[in-house]
Structure 1
Amino acid sequence: MAIEVRIPTILRTYTDGAKAVEGTGDTISELFADLETRHAGIRERLVDPAKGNELRRFVNVYLNDEDIRFLDGITTKVADGDSVTILPAVAGGALETHQA
């Protein structure tokens, strides 16, 4: 079973610069474990072992454009031909000040 995983720029150091990699598994969790076998260190950036291997707070994962947090989280089922996109949450911007 081949599942395409799109990798954000910040994590491409783990994939030798690849924008997308393939993996296998029946769930997102198994897919991340499979990726770890070829791209050491990537799983730790995605899940937090201290919180029962749940997604890290500032990591968003989409299965075919659906946020897995609104599906079954890390236990969401995946299938051959699915596309998984990993996106780091981005925050920030300029603080606007008002003068009286």
Structure 2
Amino acid sequence: MSIEVRIPTILRTYTGGEKAVSGEGGSLSALIDDLEAKHPGLKDRLVEEKNGADDLRRFVNIYINDEDVRFMGGLEAPLSDGDQVVVLPAVAGGAETRQRIR
């Protein structure tokens, strides 16, 4: 089973600069464990412990074939051979700050 995982720029230090890596697993959780074995430190950037169980970090969005995993069972979302997983950090912004020159 091979699953392509697209890695955002900010996490590429964990993948040796690779923007796409391959992994294996029947669920998102298993895939993340496989990625952690190949690219140590990556799991900690994607998953955090909440109430004694692993959960996706709040500001990380993961999609399986363009579907948000939060609507597919989260870490237990099923995966199949040939799936594409995209990891995106959430982007937050604010109002532009302008400074007057007097």
The answer to whether TM tops 0.5 is yes
AA partner of residue 91 (structure 1): A
List structure 1 runs of 4+ shifted beyond 3 angstroms. Answer: none
Partner of 1:91: 92
1:1-100 superposed matches below 5 A: 1-51=1-51, 52-95=53-96
- Structure 1 position 93, deviation (Å): 3.3
Matched residues in 2 for 1:39 and 1:96: separation?
A: 39
TM-score (norm. length: structure 1): 0.92
29-38 or 47-56, larger mean C-alpha shift: 47-56
Deviation string, structure 1 residues 44-99 (Cα, Å, up to 9, x no partner): 000002451100000000000000001111100001000000000000132479xx
Matched residues in 2 for 1:38 and 1:70: separation?
A: 27
48-57 or 22-31, larger mean C-alpha shift: 48-57
Can you give the 5+ residue segments of structure 2 that lack an aligned partner in the other structure? none
Q: Share of identical aligned residues, percent?
A: 58
Q: CA RMSD in A?
A: 1.4
Matched residues in 2 for 1:66 and 1:50: separation?
A: 23
